[in-house]
């Protein structure tokens, strides 16, 4: 021990106050552990990227933009809105209220659970000790029994387009805009880029999306992403695929495509090319832990990196999703507390809050076939759904993938309105080992978008009601 160093004893130390971290802290308190939570931003960091500058603010912006766009577009349906306009400064106040309410609620839960929060930057000094350089400029040493790492991730920057917070923005900067730019280029057509680009286009901003891959939403089946591509075109978004953003100056983004230079007008550039785990400045070597070349920490089903050390959330393999972090938190803390638990979900749902929304869980037909499973797939266009038509959102489809022999549901893939809500039923079906017959015989509300899943199941078992009889197709 360093002379003059006085270490505070901690039973369970949790590093990071995002969704995974605060969930771990609360579960630890429920199990009777003496928990200390550390976050580099202190009280202001509660909720992490998701609640403060990511998931929640982005969905608020998406809803704001969609309401405005729909109000102005429903003239053909008899709605005389009289030219609704956007006040982005007013939106920022509205968004701040939402964030304050949610993060304040989490702080209240931590307070009620008796979990103290320490603000500052943490580095490990040995396998059972860490030092926190507090926001007040002090050094506090903590000697812990167990530790949960939940430090999250940050946006990836591009050497050619470094973030300056003025003209070149990350997603956080884009969500903080208090005035509409005259033009925007979004670099990266993953889910973040598509969501931000769609919202800004609905607010009337000319948007260009630049993507290195051959199509938007790389990793998503083309059958699912095509409706989104078509909708972006309807909204006036220019999509440049197989293209690379090179530089930005004087309101112009230079893009290389097909060996040629393309000039894209862009007052603001939003770089959304991915996120990287926050594991590089923790002093993990002192903890006896080594991150992979991708910065991720290898964990088992118990979420332990080694004895007394767990890792959860964006710093572990798998999708960087808040709901995955929530689920991992309980597993990690229970194992550190002498209980047996395993993170072995049948599937983890994923959603793109695009227009239309994409929600997917389980195997695609192609993935199942690659595993040697003989599959059947029913695919029904959303245009056949009455509820979707009444809300003017009939773009999309429902795909149901089942094992041809047993009828067990292997995957559900939705493109359309409220897909983010409908995917919960599909995920439960996979977790429960439900069959197409189970879904077909479950009475769904009419009229609703959810009944389209029932109809897809009915088509699979050969008893459709509101769609033509069809023979479920096998994977190619």
CB 23 within 8 A of CB 156: no
DSSP element (H, E) containing 424: helix 419-431
Of 9, 67, 70, 61, the residue nearest 35 (C-alpha): 9
Of 417, 410, 450, the residue nearest 433 (C-alpha): 410
In the block, residue with structure tokens 């130390």:
13
**Integer Cα distance of 464 and 163 in angstroms:** 53
Catalytic residue among 69, 215, 444, 446: 446
In the block, residue with structure tokens 């579960």:
27
| Dihedral angle over CA of 47, 49, 55, 59, nearest 10 | 90
DSSP secondary structure string for all residues of 316-336: SSS---HHHHHHHHHHHHHHH
In the block, residue with structure tokens 């003239």:
75
Buried b (16+ CB within 10 A) or exposed e, 279-298: beebebeebebebeeeebbe
Distance set, CA 472 to CA 364, 386, 437 (Å): 14, 22, 14
**Integer Cα distance of 365 and 460 in angstroms:** 14
Reply yes or no: is the peptide bond before residue 273 cis, omega within 30 of 0: no
DSSP secondary structure string for all residues of 218-235: TTS-HHHHHHHHHHHHHT
Our answer to whether residue 452 is catalytic in this structure is no
In the block, residue with structure tokens 């773009």:
395
**Integer Cα distance of 375 and 473 in angstroms:** 8
Reply yes or no: is the peptide bond before residue 447 cis, omega within 30 of 0: yes
Q: In this structure, which long-range contacts are made by residues 339-344, counting pairs with CB atoms below 8 Å and at least 24 apart in sequence?
A: 339/31, 341/302, 342/301, 342/302, 343/301, 343/302, 343/303, 344/301
Q: Catalytic amino acids? A: 446
């Amino acid at each position: 021990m360093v002379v003059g160093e006085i270490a505070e004893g901690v039973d369970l130390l949790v590093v990071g106050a995002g969704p995974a971290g605060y969930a771990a802290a609360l579960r630890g308190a429920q199990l009777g552990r003496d928990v200390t939570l550390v976050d580099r931003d202190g009280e202001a960091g509660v909720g992490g990227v998701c609640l403060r500058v990511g998931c929640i603010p982005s969905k608020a912006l998406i809803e704001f933009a969609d309401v405005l766009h729909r109000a102005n577009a429903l003239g053909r349906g008899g709605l005389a809105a009289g030219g609704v306009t956007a006040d982005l400064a007013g939106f920022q106040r509205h968004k701040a209220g939402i964030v304050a309410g949610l993060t304040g609620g989490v702080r209240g839960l931590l307070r009620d659970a008796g979990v103290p929060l320490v603000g500052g930057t943490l580095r490990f000094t040995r396998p059972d000790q860490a030092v926190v350089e507090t926001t007040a400029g002090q050094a506090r040493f903590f000697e812990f029994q167990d530790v949960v790492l939940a430090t999250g991730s940050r946006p990836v920057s591009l050497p050619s387009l470094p973030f300056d917070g003025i003209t070149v923005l990350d997603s956080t900067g884009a969500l903080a805009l208090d005035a509409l730019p005259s033009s925007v280029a979004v670099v990266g057509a993953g889910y973040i880029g598509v969501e931000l680009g769609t919202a800004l286009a609905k607010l009337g901003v000319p948007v260009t999306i630049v993507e290195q891959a051959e199509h938007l939403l790389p990793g998503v089946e083309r059958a699912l992403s095509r409706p989104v591509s078509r909708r972006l075109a309807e909204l006036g978004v220019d999509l440049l695929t197989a293209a690379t953003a090179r530089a930005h100056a004087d309101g112009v983004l230079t893009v290389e495509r097909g060996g040629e230079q393309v000039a894209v007008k862009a007052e603001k550039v939003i770089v959304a090319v991915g996120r990287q785990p926050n594991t590089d400045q923790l002093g993990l070597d002192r903890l006896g832990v080594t991150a992979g070349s991708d910065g991720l920490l290898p964990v088992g089903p118990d979420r332990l990196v080694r004895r007394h050390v767990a890792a959860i959330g964006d710093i572990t393999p798998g999708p960087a999703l808040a709901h995955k972090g929530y689920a991992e938190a309980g597993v990690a803390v229970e194992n550190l507390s002498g209980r047996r638990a395993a993170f072995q979900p049948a599937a983890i749902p994923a959603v793109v809050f695009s227009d239309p929304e994409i929600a997917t869980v389980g195997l695609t037909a192609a993935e199942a076939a690659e595993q040697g499973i003989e599959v059947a797939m029913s695919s029904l266009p959303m245009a056949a759904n009455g509820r979707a038509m009444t809300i003017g959102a009939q773009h999309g489809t429902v795909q149901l993938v089942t094992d041809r022999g047993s009828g067990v549901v292997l995957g559900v893939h939705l493109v359309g309105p409220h897909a983010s809500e409908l995917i919960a039923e599909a995920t439960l079906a996979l977790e429960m080992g439900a069959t197409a017959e189970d879904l077909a015989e479950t009475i769904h509300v009419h009229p609703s978008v959810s009944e389209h899943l029932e109809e897809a199941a009915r088509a699979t078992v050969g008893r459709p009601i509101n769609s033509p009889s069809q023979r479920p197709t096998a994977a190619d």
